């Protein structure tokens, strides 16, 4: 049986491994993002609805941000990974509306988070 730290690392590794993308094209994915409440989805990632790996990835991104790190971008990468189902490296291909919607949702979530990042074992 895995201890808590090993379990968290296992779930985080499984989440970050490439998976099959849920969308056929970036345009399709961009349209999908424009029709969703992204802040609500980030809260779902936080509470584990997207799986333990997504939750731990979000915590890990927060735990390892420093003053020189673009926190919004790190959180945005985790969010896009959870929504897309695979590593999403085509940020510049998303529509400006989708980019703004993600950035605004991440900013609101970052102001609302409490001690979320502290629950992950280092």
Per-residue pLDDT tens over the stretch 19-36: 767 777 788 888 888 888
Helix (H) or strand (E) holding 74: helix 71-84
CA–CA gap between residue 106 and residue 33 (Å, rounded): 13
The domains of the chain are located at 4-119
pLDDT at 7: 81
pLDDT at 5: 81
Which of the residue ranges 42-46, 69-73, 90-94, 110-114 has the most confident prediction, judged by mean pLDDT?
A: 42-46
pTM: 0.80
């Amino acid at each position: 049986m895995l201890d808590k730290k090993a379990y968290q690392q296992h779930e985080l590794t499984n989440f970050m491994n490439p998976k099959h993308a849920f969308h056929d094209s970036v345009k399709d994915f961009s349209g999908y993002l424009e029709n969703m409440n992204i802040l609500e989805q980030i809260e779902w990632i936080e509470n584990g609805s997207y799986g333990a790996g997504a939750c731990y990835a979000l915590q890990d991104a927060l735990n390892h941000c420093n003053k020189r790190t673009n926190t919004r971008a790190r959180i945005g990468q985790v969010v896009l990974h959870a929504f897309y189902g695979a590593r999403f490296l085509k940020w510049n291909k998303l529509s400006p509306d989708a980019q703004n919607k993600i950035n605004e949702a991440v900013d609101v979530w970052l102001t609302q988070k409490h001690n979320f990042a502290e629950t992950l074992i280092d």
